[in-house]
Structure 1
Amino acid sequence: MTELFNGKGGLVEGCIEKIDRTGADIISLEDPKLVSVNTTQWHVFAAFGTLKGGRSDWLIEKCTELGASSVTPLLTERSPSISENRVDRLQRVILAAAKQCQRLHEMTLNPPLKVGGLLPIVSQSKLSFIAAAEATPVLNALALSQRESVGSIIIGPEGDFTEAEVTSILRAGATAVGLGPHRLRVETATVALLSTAMLWSDSQPLTDS
């Protein structure tokens, strides 16, 4: 017996009929069923284009496992690009991680986005957080928030956002949150904020707005 999923929430139980070097033949034992998403859809915007040594792979893998709805490489003054070859590799990382954690709904890797393109997204989001040093602790900020169906998480590059970038994101409506007294790497900050936000939103009732 085995279960098959299509990354769109579709799930079906099947039975392996034959296995050979070319693959496996599986017979469906029931009609496919659709499993709906009932958690906050967290969209991660992280400036990880300059990360080296497999650190971006790790970031994407953990975002997939933790349940992020999407990840968007954020292009900033201090992280201005990301190679197309790396994007192709990250797509394979997402697929492998989704299989490993048995995730029914796929995580999307969006095209790279500049800070200017992020601002309209933040302005339309009722739940948007940017990691910032010496800001209000994230748990304090969440205690003052209400769960929404969609949320945004924003992480700057190594060397952080410029002052102008932070100001523009905050003016668009994001809330600055702190992640403790230490300076965190991009991938560490991403996982720390996403984990906290996921656990918090899963424990909160969804608003009617």
Structure 2
Amino acid sequence: MQALCCNPRLAVVVNRSCRKTRAFSSDSSNQSRGGLPRFFSDVLPSSKGSGVRVQGDEFWHMTKVLRLNTDDRVELFNGKGGLVKGSIERIDRTGADIVALENPKLVSTNTTQWHVYAAFGTLKGGRSDWLLEKCTELGASSVTPLLTERSPSISDNRVDRLQRVIFAAAKQCQRLHEMALNPPLKVGGLLPIVSQSKLSFIAAAEATPVLNALALSQREPVGSIIIGPEGDFTEAEVKSIVEAGATAVGLGPHRLRVETATIALLSTAMLWSDSQGLFDS
């Protein structure tokens, strides 16, 4: 049997879109874009005229990289949909005080929250960085490293690096809702998630084409996408995931790398769920 990808069967879940060029249309993506430099802050000003202090890496980027100064205007976001325009009121050696120029707004998502489960722990070089960066840009709600018999681990140091990649990508694409990088999960831990999901797809060789499967599906608030490791899932792993309720879908006639299959399935699912939202409105 011809394998679909080096990691033919994968689990992936995704969220909203946020590319530098507009990949998916929605009210929330329109509201997320502004012309001002944007910085992350755990806490946003509570109302117009109130303030917060920005420190650490964001303060460094604001003042040393972009060389912003007092009275310059910025945007602050909290990674949970909150956004506010502000002005730099004061700068000292440790931070910058930002005063809100308006009441903060909360931008909601209105598309399926896709969660990605991908067995990418053995990827070499920058391939896993690229995978996480593109999942962030495309709008995945979360990514979970999937531990399988052929991809049994991922180092803690690597997880720390991937967190930094996600944060940089979120700022670059002006994403307002953070993409979570979950702790690694074994296939056995994935099965209850699949059984509770009404939208769950696993990439598989010679399966029903993904567009055909989506045409028979209805949009749900949450969905899951599953991608296996290089060398594929074992037959027992595939059987358990499908028996838990996942639909096997094909991604074309060629063998795909783990990261390629993940992005192909995520992009297709995002475009489909976004179009369903437009039709429902």
Classify the TM-score, shorter chain.
Answer: over 0.9
Determine the C-alpha separation between the residues in 1 that align with 2:278 and 2:235.
Answer: 34
**What is the SS of the residue equivalent to 2:206?**
coil
Structure 1 residues 201 and 26: CA distance shift in structure 2, 3 A: same
Match of 2:229 among 157, 161, 185: 157
**What is the SS of the residue equivalent to 2:280?**
coil
Structure 1 residues 139 and 21: CA distance shift in structure 2, 3 A: farther
Q: 1:149–1:206: 8 Å Cα contact kept in structure 2?
A: no
Q: How many angstroms does 1:17 deviate by?
A: 3.8
Identity of aligned residues (%): 90
Match of 1:77 among 145, 149, 167: 149
Q: If the length of structure 2 is used for normalisation, what is the TM-score?
A: 0.71
Q: How many angstroms does 1:26 deviate by?
A: 2.6
Per-residue Cα deviation, 1:136-190 (whole angstroms, up to 9, x for no partner): 1100100000000000000000011011100000000000000111010000000
Determine the C-alpha separation between the residues in 2 that align with 1:155 and 1:67.
Answer: 17
Structure 1 residues 207 and 120: CA distance shift in structure 2, 3 A: farther
Structure with greater contact order relative to length (CA < 8 Å, sep ≥ 6): 2
Determine the C-alpha separation between the residues in 1 that align with 2:269 and 2:84.
Answer: 30
Q: 1:46–1:72: 8 Å Cα contact kept in structure 2?
A: yes
Q: 1:148–1:207: 8 Å Cα contact kept in structure 2?
A: no
Structure 2 counterpart of 1:14: 86
Determine the C-alpha separation between the residues in 2 that align with 1:78 and 1:208.
Answer: 41
Structure 1 residues 27 and 190: CA distance shift in structure 2, 3 A: same
Q: 2:110–2:277: 8 Å Cα contact kept in structure 1?
A: no
The alignment status of 1:167 with 2:239, answered yes or no, reads yes
Cα RMSD after superposing both structures: 2.0
Q: If the length of structure 1 is used for normalisation, what is the TM-score?
A: 0.94
Kindly report which structure 2 residues correspond to 1:105-184, keeping only aligned pairs within 5 A, or say none.
105-184=177-256
Per-residue Cα deviation, 1:68-114 (whole angstroms, up to 9, x for no partner): 00000000000000000000101111110000001000000000000
Q: How many angstroms does 1:207 deviate by?
A: 11
Unpaired runs of at least 5, structure 2:
1-73
**What is the SS of the residue equivalent to 1:169?**
helix
Q: 1:130–1:154: 8 Å Cα contact kept in structure 2?
A: yes
